[in-house]
Amino acid sequence: MEPSRSPEPPAQPDPDPDPAGLALARAVAVEEYRSRLESAGRVLDGVDRALSALADGTYGTCAACGAPIDDMVLAQDPTALHCAGHGPRG
């Protein structure tokens, strides 16, 4: 009869698993968070401007020339500031 062998202890996890990879993943996550935060800030700024324009009676008029902004444009983007002639493609 062979002497019984004691089981080998489980392998210990690497105490420092790829620190450079973890740092890179963390940096990417932080940059994505910052980007989303800036985007949300721009949306909120647009909503604030639209609410102010609604309060002072200028909502739906072009900030550049005072012409009415098309209802279809406002339906698509309620924060639009410019008519078709002065918008991003105008």
Structure confidence by residue, pLDDT tens digits, 8-31: 777 666 666 677 888 888 999 999
Q: Are 50 and 79 in contact (CB under 8 A)?
A: yes
pTM over the 0.85 mark: no
Structure confidence by residue, pLDDT tens digits, 66-75: 999 999 999 9
What residue ranges define each of the domains in the chain, with the CATH number in brackets?
28-90 (1.20.120.910)
Residue type present at position 58 = T
b/e map 37-74, b = 16+ CB within 10 Å: eeeeeeeeeeeeebeebeeeeebbbbeeeeeebeeebe
